[in-house]
Chains A and B, each alone.
Chain A
């Protein structure tokens, strides 16, 4: 069945360093969404990517959707302590529900 894999599972960085998490699907996706979940909180929507090769930016966050629409990445420039949390990608394929990856948990030390 459809799976969405995320790497790494955990990442620790010093404040100011960059961070990247990768998401890979076994099948072509219609779209991909990214969510952030703070410790003890619930997932919060960040962005949705629909087009092949799409790149979107939100301040220090850059999201990419691969040309084959099977992979995606989230890059954070100059991390801050407020970036701490777990970042999930969630892929959707026509006719199926949204499938979440296991997430990448980011910790940041100042």
Chain B
């Protein structure tokens, strides 16, 4: 399968714990995006990378969230001191090129904070 993969697919954690998610984009894609989706909503942009550079981060994103893409391939999204409001589906997508082109989404990581 050469699509976008995400790990884990499901994560249950207690409030206050840190969690880290991984995304492996399509191999030749230089752009990688993170979104959050809650029930009844569209994907909400969190941040994106072009190669290893993080070019934009949502102003609504808490400083408890951090993302990396150290070698311009896979990316990690870490949430520190999780809160119940962080419960959501975290989607990763990738695309090729310089603009906001067709994005290929992964299956997502569903986070539940208890």
Which residues of chain A have a CB within 8 Å of any CB of chain B? 30-31, 33, 35, 41-45, 48, 88, 90, 92, 97-103
Q: Nearest-CB distance from B33 to chain A (Å)?
A: 8
Top 6 A-B pairs, shortest CB-CB distance: A100-B42, A97-B45, A42-B105, A92-B100, A45-B102, A43-B105
A43 to B107, CA, bound (A): 9
Q: Are B58 and A97 in contact (CB under 8 A)?
A: yes
Q: Are B105 and A102 in contact (CB under 8 A)?
A: no
Q: Are A42 and B102 in contact (CB under 8 A)?
A: no
User: Which B residue's beta carbon lies closest to that of A86?
Assistant: B42
Supposing A31-B100, A102-B40 touch, asked if A97 and B105 sit within 8 A by C-beta, the answer is no
Q: Are B45 and A99 in contact (CB under 8 A)?
A: yes
A105 to B85, CA, bound (A): 24
Given contacts A43-B93, A102-B42, 6 further A-B contacts (CB under 8 A): A33-B100, A42-B105, A92-B100, A97-B45, A98-B100, A100-B45
* Interface class of chain A by DSSP: strand
Which residues of chain B have a CB within 8 Å of any CB of chain A? 33, 35, 40-45, 48, 56, 58, 91, 93, 100-108
Which chain B residues lie closer than 8 Å to A44 at the CB level? 105
Which chain A residues lie closer than 8 Å to B108 at the CB level? 42
From A90, A98, A100, residue with most partner B Cβ within 10 Å: A98
Which chain B residues lie closer than 8 Å to A103 at the CB level? 41-42
Q: Are A45 and B104 in contact (CB under 8 A)?
A: yes
Q: Are B101 and A100 in contact (CB under 8 A)?
A: no
User: Which A residue's beta carbon lies closest to that of B48?
Assistant: A97
